């Protein structure tokens, strides 16, 4: 049971850093961030920037005082695939 928990913890940590590298690759890359229970917001380098607060990576919207933690966002691609949170 311990190994299973450690594996899922490692897997979720690895996936949390994928969004940051995808965000930095190009200004056209978009992320879909979980805002509320049924709300989502699309961000890219054009309307958000990456900030480090207390050793955690956050996406901050440029025109609003709104922060998204990096693991609440997932990559958005043109192909159809399910969004699971």
Q: Which residues of the chain have pLDDT under 70?
A: 11-17, 78-81, 85
Judging by beta carbons within 10 Å of its beta carbon (0-12, 13-18, 19+), is residue 31 exposed, middle or buried? Answer: buried
Query: What integer pLDDT is reported at residue 17 of this predicted model?
Result: 59
pTM, whole model, 2 decimals?
Answer: 0.65
Q: Which pLDDT score, from 0 to 100, does residue 78 have?
A: 67
* Token duo for residue 83: 């969004």
H/E stretch holding 10 reads helix 2-25
| 54 domain residue, yes or no | yes
Q: What is the pLDDT of residue 21?
A: 78
Residue 32 belongs to some domain of the structure = yes
Give 41-61 pLDDT, tens digit per residue.
Answer: 888 888 898 888 888 888 888
Q: Which two tokens stand for residue 59?
A: 């996406």
**Structural domain includes residue 41:** yes
Q: Is residue 84 part of a domain?
A: no
| Number of domains comprising the chain | 1
* Residue 43 belongs to domain spanning: 2-76
């Amino acid at each position: 049971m311990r190994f299973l928990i450690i594996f899922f913890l490692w897997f979720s940590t690895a996936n949390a850093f994928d969004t940051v590298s995808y965000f930095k690759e190009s200004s056209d890359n978009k992320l879909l961030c979980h805002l509320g229970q049924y709300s989502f917001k699309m961000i890219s380098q054009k309307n958000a920037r990456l900030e480090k607060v207390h050793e955690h990576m956050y996406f901050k919207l440029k025109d609003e005082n709104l922060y998204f933690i990096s693991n609440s966002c997932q990559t958005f691609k043109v192909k159809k695939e399910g969004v699971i949170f």
